[in-house]
């Protein structure tokens, strides 16, 4: 707000004229005419000052002398963008979301095929038993010991299917050397096997739902972490917007207090001049000095409020005063808004659709449902279908010959069967896990109900806060208007010789307080409106930083 440039030149105590009627009451004297002229000037000056300040009041955040220096000028949108990019709380929660996304990839890793290779060297040298002599007959009968040196090479691919089946497909090569082969005039034999096996659960651990349970739980946890990220962003953005309007308020209040100090200073100078010329009592100077001292104290308090508001904003986008002493200036206007029509039903529906904690609780219910389904499946006996199939090859010369024989498929082998496992104590572990899963889901349903109640009450409170803030702003605007009128009346009383500087300063202070209350009511409305948008859950969308797509 800009004040009139008119200077205050005269401030007359009404009782001085009564002490010397020859000087002050002679209507024809030049002193009397001088007094009347300066009284008119005084009235015009005060009216111009306060009328001008009132007209500029609330039209925007005007920078103080500190903020007139080079500083960082920010609109609310600029601040929100900086906070979104630099706030450490937001980044921390974003990393939590990233960790949960990595957990989803980890859970899906169970379906990644595994290459399994092995090599085994088997060497032994043992004495023959009578049974060995009997079974071997004339083969290697010259030696009373038996030796062997075998090399075994294996390579296979293993994988788990979504149905829960464990599949293995592989190749095996054995290089066999022994004393018996030497007796048969053969250095070595090469044995090949190519085949696969499958183990398919039929009851416990059977089915896509059970196999995918860990993945779906991880996905639900990731969605909940995303909502946690949104919730932190929502809180920080709401804090940033409130801090911005607090900065606007601090700038305006400091402006009001500076103007009050200027006015009190001019009154003091005028009073001293009047005392020097013998036209005013010394007590009027003391009244003006006391008023000026009080206003300087209030100005210092307003400066501290501004410093605090600036540092609060720096904290929100992680800027330390040690790193930068750059001032921050809020440039958005602090002005009354038109009446906003909001209703409870639409706001409540919006909050159920957009609020992070409600969405997170819904996903938690889904997660607990998955856990219950998995726990119910674990109560079944373990019944597995096992099957294998392979082809064999053998050659005395080389591995290639053994492989060629296997390709002819003349020597096949296969197996098929069932394996059953039943807990003898009734499956205590599975029963306890199922009971715990059901209790967790019941807890989550209670949490959902509590969230719905809390959101409904928060929406109702926010709507009423907005309406009350508008009404309060209207009331304080009327208070400002009335105090301006009272100040004009007091000035007229001063001109009539029935008032004094203390009363005028008191009226001035009452007007200043009314202006501050009006400013605070405007800020309270902005905060209430921010709180309403936050409760509705669309505050982030308003600033274009919401990560959740509208369904």
pLDDT band with cut points at 50, 70 and 90 for residue 32: very low
Task: Give me the domain span that covers residue 156.
Answer: 115-218+373-439
In a domain, 96, yes or no: no
Instruction: Name the token pair of 388.
Output: 């294998």
The DSSP H or E segment spanning 73 is: strand 71-74
SS percent in the chain: helix, strand, coil, step 5: 60, 15, 25
In a domain, 136, yes or no: yes
Q: Which of 152, 175, 156, 151 is nearest to 166 (CA)?
A: 156
Mean pLDDT estimate for the chain: 83
In a domain, 145, yes or no: yes
Contacts of 384 (CB under 8 A, 6+ apart): 199, 200, 201, 202, 418, 419, 420
Q: Which of 292, 288, 263 is nearest to 274 (CA)?
A: 288
Give the pLDDT confidence of 444-470 residue by residue, as tens digits: 999 999 999 999 999 999 999 999 998
In a domain, 405, yes or no: yes
Q: Which residues pair with 119 in a beta bridge?
A: 153
Per the listing, tokens 């001088």 go with: 34
Position 435 pLDDT exceeds 90: yes
Contacts of 385 (CB under 8 A, 6+ apart): 198, 199, 200, 201, 202, 416, 417, 418
Instruction: Name the token pair of 164.
Output: 């829960």
In a domain, 289, yes or no: no
The answer to whether residues 381 and 406 touch, using CB atoms and an 8 Å cutoff, is no
- In a 13 Å sphere around the CA of 118, the CA atoms on its Cβ side amount to 11
pLDDT band with cut points at 50, 70 and 90 for residue 131: low
Q: Which of 203, 184, 229, 218 is nearest to 92 (CA)?
A: 229
Phi, psi of 186 (to 5 degrees): -130, 130
The answer to whether residues 493 and 499 touch, using CB atoms and an 8 Å cutoff, is yes
Give the pLDDT confidence of 267-324 residue by residue, as tens digits: 888 888 878 887 778 888 888 889 899 989 999 999 999 999 999 999 998 888 777 6
Position 340 pLDDT exceeds 80: no
**What does the alpha-carbon distance between residue 366 and residue 441 come to, in Å, rounded to a whole number?**
9
Alpha carbon distance, N-terminus to C-terminus of the chain = 46
**What does the alpha-carbon distance between residue 87 and residue 246 come to, in Å, rounded to a whole number?**
19
Contacts of 315 (CB under 8 A, 6+ apart): none
Position 62 pLDDT exceeds 70: no
Higher pLDDT, 441 or 337: 441
Q: How many percent of the chain have pLDDT more than 90?
A: 58
pLDDT band with cut points at 50, 70 and 90 for residue 494: low
Q: Which of 149, 78, 141, 91 is nearest to 120 (CA)?
A: 149
In a domain, 213, yes or no: yes
In a domain, 14, yes or no: no
Q: Can you list the positions of beta strands (E) in 355-475?
A: 382-395, 412-421
In a domain, 470, yes or no: no
Position 24 pLDDT exceeds 70: no
Position 75 pLDDT exceeds 70: yes
**What does the alpha-carbon distance between residue 494 and residue 498 come to, in Å, rounded to a whole number?**
6
Indicate the number of domains in the chain: 1
Per the listing, tokens 């002229």 go with: 37
């Amino acid at each position: 707000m800009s004040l009139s440039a008119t200077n205050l030149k005269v401030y007359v105590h009404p009782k001085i004229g009564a002490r010397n009627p020859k000087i002050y009451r002679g209507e024809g004297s030049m002193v009397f005419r001088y007094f009347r002229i300066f009284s008119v000037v005084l009235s015009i000056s005060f009216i111009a000052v306060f009328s001008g300040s009132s007209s500029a009041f609330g039209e925007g955040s005007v920078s103080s002398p500190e903020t007139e220096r080079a500083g960082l000028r920010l609109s609310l949108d600029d601040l929100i963008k900086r906070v979104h990019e630099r706030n450490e709380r937001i980044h921390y929660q974003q990393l939590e979301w990233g960790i949960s996304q990595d957990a989803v990839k980890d859970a899906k890793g169970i379906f990644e095929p595994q290459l399994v290779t092995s090599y085994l060297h088997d060497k032994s040298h043992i004495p023959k038993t009578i049974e060995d002599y009997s079974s071997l007959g004339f083969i290697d009968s010259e030696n009373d010991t038996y030796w062997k040196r075998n090399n075994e090479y294996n390579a296979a691919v293993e994988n788990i299917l979504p149905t829960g089946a464990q599949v293995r497909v592989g190749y095996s090569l054995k290089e066999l050397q022994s004393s018996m082969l030497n007796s048969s005039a053969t250095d070595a034999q090469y044995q090949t096997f190519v085949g696969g096996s499958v183990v398919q659960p039929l009851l416990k651990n059977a089915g896509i739902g059970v196999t995918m349970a860990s993945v779906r739980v991880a996905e639900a946890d990731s969605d909940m972490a995303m909502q946690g990220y949104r919730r932190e962003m929502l809180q920080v953005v709401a804090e940033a917007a409130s801090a911005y309007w607090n900065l606007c308020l601090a700038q305006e209040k400091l402006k009001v207090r500076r103007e009050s100090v200027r006015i009190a200073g001019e009154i003091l100078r005028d009073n001293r001049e009047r005392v020097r010329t013998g036209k005013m009592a010394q007590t009027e100077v003391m009244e003006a000095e006391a008023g000026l001292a009080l206003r300087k104290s209030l100005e210092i308090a307003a400066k501290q409020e501004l410093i605090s508001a600036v540092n609060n904003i720096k904290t929100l986008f992680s800027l330390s005063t040690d790193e930068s002493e750059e001032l921050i200036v809020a440039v958005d206007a602090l002005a009354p808004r038109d009446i906003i029509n909001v209703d409870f039903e639409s706001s409540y529906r919006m909050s159920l659709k957009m609020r992070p904690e409600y969405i997170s609780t819904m996903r938690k219910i889904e997660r607990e449902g998955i856990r219950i389904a998995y726990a119910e499946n674990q109560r079944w006996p373990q019944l597995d279908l096992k099957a294998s199939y392979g082809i064999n090859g053998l050659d005395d010369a080389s591995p290639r010959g053994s492989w060629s024989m296997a390709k002819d498929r003349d020597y096949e082998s296969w197996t098929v069967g069932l394996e059953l496992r039943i807990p003898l104590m009734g499956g205590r572990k599975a029963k306890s896990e199922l009971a715990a899963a059901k209790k967790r889901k019941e807890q989550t349903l209670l949490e959902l109900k509590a969230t719905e109640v809390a959101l409904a009450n928060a929406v109702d409170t926010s709507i009423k806060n907005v309406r009350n803030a508008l009404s309060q702003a209207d009331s304080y605007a009327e208070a400002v208007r009335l105090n301006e009128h009272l100040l004009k009346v007091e000035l007229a009383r001063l001109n009539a010789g029935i008032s004094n500087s203390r009363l005028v300063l008191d009226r001035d202070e009452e007007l200043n307080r009314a202006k501050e209350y009006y400013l605070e009511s405007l800020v309270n409305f902005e905060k209430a409106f921010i709180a309403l948008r936050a409760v509705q859950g669309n505050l982030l969308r308003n600033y274009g930083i919401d990560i959740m797509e509208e369904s």
